[in-house]
Amino acid sequence: MANGFSLALSHVGYLVTDMNKMVDFYTRVMKFVVSDRGDREQNGAIVFMTRNPAEHHQLVFATGRPTDLTFSIVQQISFRVDSLATLREMYHAVQKEPIQKMLGPVTHGNALSVYFLDPEGNRVELLIDTPWYVPQPHRLAVDIEQPDDQLWASIEKHVRATPGFRPVEEWRAEITQKIAAAVR
């Protein structure tokens, strides 16, 4: 990036109470693979996981989360999937798991998302982008089981009626200008 620098999210780390349960869920259901694991000096176990061979790890789990914590300190972690079919497949897979809670599916106008709380209560989002932008926050429950054309038509009808609606390419052009100005 001219006159500035580029930043990209590399990985997210969680403190966990039950390493085996978390590694099982994220490898079996979310299809991550363990890329490394070991012990931290006097600090317990650490496990690195990825779904991208260009990234040594996208997730890191380290033991040390207090067992008496009454809430998750992770606001959420979001994973983009490649298609509506994959989103549905993951939605169905997660529904079969002993997760704490299913929160979705919903559309934010700019995305179609499924939210759930993983085995330790951390909020996880699975999403696909839409070609639209609406001001955020924006949330509408949707029936992900509708046929594709009906689902997309219902989302599009809703977002086009939302003040501030525009094609996502227009929004991206505006953000590109803002980023360029910020790094000058």
Q: What is the pLDDT of residues 6-33, one digit of tens each?
A: 556 778 888 999 999 999 999 999 999 9
Burial of 113 (C-beta count, 10 Å sphere; 0-12/13-18/19+)? buried
Q: Is 62 found in the same domain as 79?
A: no
pLDDT of residue 2: 46
Q: Residue 49 to residues 42, 46, 77, 90: CA-CA distances in angstroms?
A: 22, 10, 14, 18
CATH code of the domain in which 84 resides: 3.30.720.110
Number of folded domains that form the chain? 2
Q: Is 90 found in the same domain as 160?
A: yes
Which residues 6+ apart lie within 8 Å of 64 measured at CB? 15, 16, 43, 44
Q: Is 86 found in the same domain as 26?
A: no
Q: Is 137 found in the same domain as 90?
A: yes
Q: What angle do CA 12, 48, 63 make, to 5 degrees?
A: 80
Domain termination residue (choose one: 20, 49, 68) = 68
Give the pair of three-digit tokens for residue 62: 């380290």
Q: Is 52 found in the same domain as 87?
A: no
Domain termination residue (choose one: 19, 53, 68) = 68
Q: Is 83 found in the same domain as 136?
A: yes
Average pLDDT for residues 136-150, to the nearest whole number?
A: 95
Instruction: Give the model confidence (pLDDT) of 36-89 as tens digits.
Output: 988 877 778 889 989 888 787 899 999 988 888 888 787 788 888 999 999 999
CATH code of the domain in which 35 resides: 3.10.180.10
Q: Is 63 found in the same domain as 34?
A: yes
Q: Is 159 found in the same domain as 82?
A: yes
- Considering 43-52, 62-71, 122-131, 143-152, the range whose residues carry the highest mean pLDDT is 143-152
Q: Is 153 found in the same domain as 125?
A: yes
Closest among 159, 142, 160 to 151, alpha carbons compared:
142
Domain termination residue (choose one: 52, 68, 84) = 68
| Contact assessment for residue 41 and residue 49, using Cβ atoms and an 8 Å cutoff | no
pLDDT of residue 132: 96
Q: Is 20 found in the same domain as 7?
A: yes
Q: Is 33 found in the same domain as 113?
A: no
Based on its alpha-carbon atoms, the radius of gyration of the chain, rounded to whole angstroms, reads 19
Q: Is 112 found in the same domain as 50?
A: no
Query: How many residues are there in the chain?
Result: 184
Average pLDDT for residues 115-124, to the nearest whole number?
A: 89
Cβ density class 29-59: b for 16+ within 10 Å, e for less: bbebeebeeeeeeeeebbbbbbeeeeeebbb
Range of the domain at 96: 71-184
